[in-house]
Amino acid sequence: MATNIKGQTLEILKIDAAPTPAAHIMPLPPHALKNIRHPSQDLYVIGITGTNGKTTVSYLVGEVLKLAGHKTFVLGTYNSGNKNLSTPVAIDLLQFMKAHFEEGGTHFVMEVTSEGIDQARVLDVDFNVKLLTNITQDHLDYHKTFERYESTKLGFMSEGEAHKIYPLQFAQTEIKFETCLLGDYNLLNIKAAASILRHMDVAEEYIEQALSTCAAPSGRLESVDKGQPFLVLVDYAHTPDGLKNMLSTVKEIAQDRNGRLMVLFGCGGDRDRGKRPEMGKIASEFADYMVITDDNPRSEDSQTIMSEIVAGIRPGFDDYILLQNRREAIELIIGHAESRDVVVLAGKGHETSQILQTQTVHFDDREEAMHAISIQ
């Protein structure tokens, strides 16, 4: 159905009420904090939701606000206190906001996940601005259907009095300056950030100065450089859309260098199985050489995960191998790289641990890449 928002028509599906939380989740009672003045009422709160781009957009908005002199806290993937929850549980979120306000904070930027919405973690937050980056396939292990996942995101956007910004709106935002971030998808992230900041009447000089010089957040097309003749990039892309956007950008870099695009990735265990063959298909459409390996297999059998990825590989593409051990896989792909090639290690990005069955071990793709380069 077409919905008119601030004079612009957006083609979106009907927005139904948010789905009932999963049976195994016990959400915070709606009025658990009713006798407490929520600190979000004393802060300017910006909520970023969507499948991809939440971390980058939040980071960019935060950098501009800090440059403009506002005491700003950015909460999400890097610092939520729980590596599995980019949006903390309600009581922890309240404490983050309370502490920031008591320290003189003025602005609070946060990632808002679909699970966080569904489990009422943001129910009492008084948002000033909400922005939706995009909606593509992810988290179907939790939501079960794409329709429920989409309804959760759109339900959050439709609620409350906050100023709401949708993809078709920020895509039209004009950017007249060069940026350091690669790819069309990052241009959209910059436009999203700029649309929020311009709504807030932040001076254009601060927007341009920060957004033209900001490097990408940690683990987002992050370069690993020890002087080697080939390029090594670490990226968090772990959804079909995220992988496609990232690889289309890096493919152009490889072509400009007259080198091969070499891709290493896996898929997480105990998560949405439907995206595995889709990611295999996407990777094989861009890569010249591919290594399929472990991501966070969790309780699942790694060989099963990898075989489901392989099932999606395009017919005729056979320049790939399967290697379960991610450390060995990184050493192998870097060992095969030649001058001018581009090596992408996808899926874990900034993460510094790996979940193997019931054990969590230290693992950082950037550290492993540095070591692999050094032993060549």
pLDDT digits (tens, 9 = 90+) for 196-206: 999 999 999 99
Same domain, residue pair 234 and 177: no
Same domain, residue pair 254 and 346: yes
Name the pLDDT band for 80 (thresholds 50, 70, 90): confident
Single out the residue in 213, 233, 256 at which a domain terminates.
213
Over 80: is that where the pLDDT of 4 sits? no
Q: State the chain's maximal CA–CA distance in angstroms.
A: 64
* Tokens 């709401």 found at: 164
In order of 3, 54, 123, 351, the CA distances from 79 in angstroms are: 35, 14, 21, 12
pLDDT in tens, 296-322: 999 999 999 999 999 999 999 999 999
State which amino acid sits at residue 314: R
Q: What is the mean pLDDT of residues 317-346?
A: 98
For the chain, what is the domain count? 2
Domain limits at 59? 2-213
CATH number, position 89: 3.40.1190.10
Q: Where are the alpha helices (DSSP H) in the chain?
A: 54-67, 90-102, 114-118, 140-143, 146-158, 167-170, 184-199, 204-213, 240-256, 275-286, 302-310, 326-335, 365-374
Quick one: pLDDT at residue 36? 66
Rounded to whole angstroms, the Cα distance separating 299 from 276 reads 16
Cα dihedral angle (149, 151, 156, 162), rounded to 10 degrees? 130
Q: Give this prediction's pTM.
A: 0.83
CATH number, position 229: 3.90.190.20
